[in-house]
Amino acid sequence: MSIYFENDPPQWEVLDSTYLHRRPWLTLRQDKVKLTSGRTIDDYYIQEFPSWVNVLAITPDRQAVLVRQYRHGLGTVAFELPAGVHETGESFLEAAQRELLEETGYRGGTWSPLMELSPNPALQTNLSYTFLAEGVQKTGEQQLDATEEITVHLVPLDALHSLIMDGAMVQALHAAPVLKYLLQNSLG
């Protein structure tokens, strides 16, 4: 949902825009921009990414299907939602269903949109779309990419609540929709 206020500033004017990198995993742009005040910034860096998807998947016996994997930015392993990149030609829902199946072997159930978030509205172009999948079933094994090393963990909803309150899900794009789900369902 977008809300506009009368005193919201307008979009910056882009005076110049140059790609520093257009590589498979790195698209980095330098914009020269003009602010509402007329002041200019010569070096505003924006990273372009495709849309991201993730899913809060819950089994019929009310356990969340979480994953753990090593993350090199922080150099740590933590609980995450199954997640991935939206690929050309699929819907966000199809992308989330594909990622859940690939990373965990779970599928099916009833799917609905849960939350749309920005990883960083200042520095990144993309949004992350979270789905809620209730009643998923394990129908197969993981189908991981060659560089993926992911373990699957079933976490009962009360343990999920403790886990997130204790900071064991550090990825903001995953913590926020889980907290929204817990709040919506008065699982506080």
Site for its own copies in 13-72 (CB under 8 A): 20-21, 23-26, 28, 31, 33, 35-37, 39, 41, 43-47, 68-72
- Total number of residues binding its own copies (CB under 8 A)? 79
Other CB atoms within a 10 A radius of the CB of residue 32 amount to 16
Nearer to its own copies, 7 or 89 (CB): 7
Rank residues 8 and 61 by Cβ distance to its own copies and give the closer one: 8
Helix (H, G, I), strand (E, B) or coil at 173: helix
From CA 5, how far away is CA 9, in angstroms rounded?
9
Q: Which is nearer to its own copies, 44 or 108 (CB)?
A: 44
- Output the smallest distance, CB 62 to its own copies, in A: 18
Nearer to its own copies, 116 or 137 (CB): 116
At position 8, the amino acid (one-letter code) is: D
> Which of 59-67, 103-111, 131-139, 149-157 is the region at the interface with its own copies (rule: CB under 8 A)?
149-157
Q: How far apart are CB 61 and its own copies at their closest, in Å?
A: 21
**Interface residue with its own copies, options 53, 64, 160, 173 (CB under 8 A):** 173
By the 10 Å C-beta count (0-12 exposed, 13-18 middle, 19+ buried), 63 is classed as middle
Under the binding rule (CB under 8 A), the answer on residue 73 touching its own copies is yes
Q: Calculate the dihedral angle through the C-alpha atoms of 82, 66, 174, 158, rounding to the nearest 10 degrees.
A: 150
Label the pairing between strands 13-23 and 26-34.
antiparallel
Piece of the chain touching its own copies by CB under 8 A; list 8-16, 87-95, 100-108, 134-142: 8-16
3-class secondary structure, 139: coil
Q: Residue 48 and residue 168: Cα distance in Å, rounded?
A: 28
